[in-house]
Amino acid sequence: MAQEGNNTKIIMKRSVREWVLSPFSGVYGGLTDIRNWLYDNALLTAERPNVQSVSVGNLTVGGTGKTPMVEFLIKRFLATNEFRVGALATLSRGYGRTTTGFRVATAADTADTIGDEPRQLYRKFNSSVRVCVGERRVEAIESLLQLHPETKRVLLDDAFQHRPLAPHVSILLMDYNRPFYADQPFPGGRLRERRKGARRADVLVVTKCPLTLSLAEQTQIASQIRPYTRPETPIFFAGLAYESPVSFATGQAVTELGAVVLVSGLANATPLEQYVRQHFPLVRHARFADHHPYTRPTLEQLVTDLPADTSLLTTEKDWVKLDALLTPAERATWPLYYLPVSMQFLAGQEPAFLAAMEEMGLKNR
């Protein structure tokens, strides 16, 4: 009963906040409407790159699973034998980095110089994929092609609102837990633009779904999405599949892990916490803001506060920042682990998704 009362209070506070800020949401939504109208009517120029481009983005402020989707696409594209080393690249603005301009990731880069998610991609795929950052995506792709003309396809992370660039295929993600059709523009809501922006999507994927989501609920959700998309836009459903924890020390998965303190810097850490509670004895959850810039004192405090026989468990995105703060001796001895996660389409939908991508021109050669 106490929990129900707390949930009611949270909902009431959210409703009051949305009502108070609703006029400002209207102003913000109107400004984004004007900007989109200018691009849609060619009064502002949108350039299509000279290389195949796939945009992965969302309408919502915060995480919808863009990085797991980019990783999914990387793995599937590399599996086709079409992309030899260097033919596939990723490009994002590198949120939170201390550098500016176009940059191709190297082993010397850190989360500070390229951003946490590009650093994560580099550590996982650097042997076969070129990871790049750049605020101005059109100019960044031009610079990439000048340096590496062998590039055949670029995956654009978080580029749905970057209207100066017109991608060949645009994938829009929607968090199952935060549907855009029940939201409004910032600051009263979490939308970066009005719901009708979904009409620019060539493919829409509902992410973070329960892997057992029924066909009836999928149909119901799709019916609420459909008024905002083009009639021909396919809608798919996917969830997150968590893998076994991986040791900071060895880079190997472990089959057994006892009590944990969860550390996360995510836009929405609730699904992660729910999973951890179900699979590990969770002592507590140290939540930080999305893209949190961890410091050495913070890490030391987290480790000092660990109860006996308890491990620190974090996300893959947070791992790349925390690991950079460790000495070799600490990495080898402290009980630190991260939890890999991957995109998993619901039963039978992955082949249909890949077929839809091929129909849009992303065919294997």
Q: Each residue of 160-189: pLDDT tens digit?
A: 999 999 999 999 999 999 999 999 998 899
pLDDT at position 19 is 61
The answer, yes or no, to whether residue 322 has pLDDT greater than 80, is yes
- What average pLDDT does the segment 346-360 reach? 93
pLDDT class of 20 with cuts at 50, 70, 90: confident
In DSSP terms, 172 is beta-bridged to 57, 204
| Distance of alpha carbon 248 from alpha carbon 258, whole angstroms | 16
C-alpha dist (Å) from residue 115 to 26, 89, 239, 293: 32, 16, 25, 10
pLDDT at position 274 is 93
Backbone angles phi, psi at 182, to 5 degrees: -115, 20
Burial of 97 (0-12, 13-18, 19+ CB in 10 A): buried
- What average pLDDT does the segment 75-101 reach? 89
Pick the range with the lowest mean pLDDT from 5-14, 24-33, 341-350: 5-14
Q: Provide the whole-model pTM.
A: 0.90
pLDDT at position 224 is 98
Which among 343, 288, 297 is positioned nearest to 318, based on CA atoms?
288
pLDDT at position 114 is 96
Assigned CATH topology for domain 244-339: Rossmann fold (3.40.50)
The answer, yes or no, to whether residue 4 has pLDDT greater than 50, is no
Burial of 256 (0-12, 13-18, 19+ CB in 10 A): exposed
Task: Write the secondary structure of 305-336 as one string of H (helix), E (strand) and C (coil).
Answer: CCCCCEEEEEEHHHHHHHHCCCCHHHHHHCCE
pLDDT at position 17 is 63
Residues near 231 by beta carbon (within 8 Å), at least 6 away in sequence = none
Tokens representing residue 153 in the block: 């396809």
Question: How confident is the prediction for the chain on average, in pLDDT?
Answer: 92
DSSP for residue 284: E
> What is the SS3 assignment for 342?
strand
pLDDT at position 11 is 42
In the chain, % of residues over pLDDT 90: 82
173 and 64 Cβ atoms separated by less than 8 Å: yes
Tokens representing residue 194 in the block: 């009005």
DSSP, residue by residue, 144-193: HHHH-TT--EEEEET-TT-TTB--SEEEEEEETTS-GGG--BTTTSSBSS
**β-strands 203-207, 235-242 pairing:** parallel
Burial of 66 (0-12, 13-18, 19+ CB in 10 A): buried
Q: Do domains 52-83+152-239+345-359 and 244-339 have the same CATH topology?
A: yes
pLDDT class of 88 with cuts at 50, 70, 90: very high
pLDDT at position 15 is 61
56 and 171 Cβ atoms separated by less than 8 Å: yes
Residues near 306 by beta carbon (within 8 Å), at least 6 away in sequence = 261, 312, 335
The answer, yes or no, to whether residue 364 has pLDDT greater than 50, is no
Alpha-carbon 90 to chain mean position:
13
pLDDT at position 21 is 76
> What is the SS3 assignment for 256?
coil
* 245-282 pLDDT, tens digit each: 999 999 999 998 999 999 999 988 988 999 999 999 99
- What average pLDDT does the segment 179-205 reach? 95
Give the residue extent of every domain in the chain.
52-83+152-239+345-359, 244-339
Pick the CATH number of 52-83+152-239+345-359 from 1.10.3470, 2.40.10, 3.40.50, 3.30.390: 3.40.50
pLDDT class of 365 with cuts at 50, 70, 90: very low
Alpha-carbon 3 to chain mean position:
30
| Distance of alpha carbon 169 from alpha carbon 233, whole angstroms | 11
Residues near 32 by beta carbon (within 8 Å), at least 6 away in sequence = 185, 192, 193, 194, 197
